[in-house]
Amino acid sequence: QQPVQSPQAVILREGEDAVINCSSSKALYSVHWYRQKHGEAPVFLMILLKGGEQKGHDKISASFNEKKQQSSLYLTASQLSYSGTYFCGTEIGGSQGNLIFGKGTKLSVKP
């Protein structure tokens, strides 16, 4: 049931864009995105609910395609502060309370 994230790691230069994908084999009720910096706790970025709703956070946005059971996180004009590991969390429809995270995508932004 664990969602699959790709890529596992990505290295960017400041100002470059990146896309992180999250897919599930199960029908999804919602998708959650978190960022964890090294040695710190995960921090919430956004939630996407079924219905194709797209939400943004500064220059970070995401989409959710419930038919394909996929979500993508878009990082535009990356900044050094974007470095960290990004986790998508999926809530399987009907299993309220059970948020399953993928293994994470490590993003490194270089100057």
Partner 1 sequence: DSGVTQTPKHLITATGQRVTLRCSPRSGDLSVYWYQQSLDQGLQFLIQYYNGEERAKGNILERFSAQQFPDLHSELNLSSLELGDSALYFCASSLAGGPTGELFFGEGSRLTVL
Give contact residues for partner 1 (rule: CB under 8 A): 2, 30, 32, 34, 40-44, 47, 87, 89, 91, 95-104
Q: Which is nearer to partner 1, 44 or 81 (CB)?
A: 44
CB nearer partner 1, residue 2 or residue 17: 2
Q: How far is the CB of 43 from partner 1 (least distance, A)?
A: 7
Least spacing, CB of residue 20 vs partner 1, in Å: 14
22-55 per-residue burial string, b: 16 or more CB within 10 A, e: under 16: bbbeeebbbbbbbbeeeeeebeebbebebeeeee
d(CA 103, CA 60): 20
DSSP string of 55-71?
EEETTEEEEEETTTTEE
Residue closer to partner 1 by CB (options 82, 87) is 87
- Residue 38 Cβ vs partner 1, minimum distance, rounded to whole Å: 12
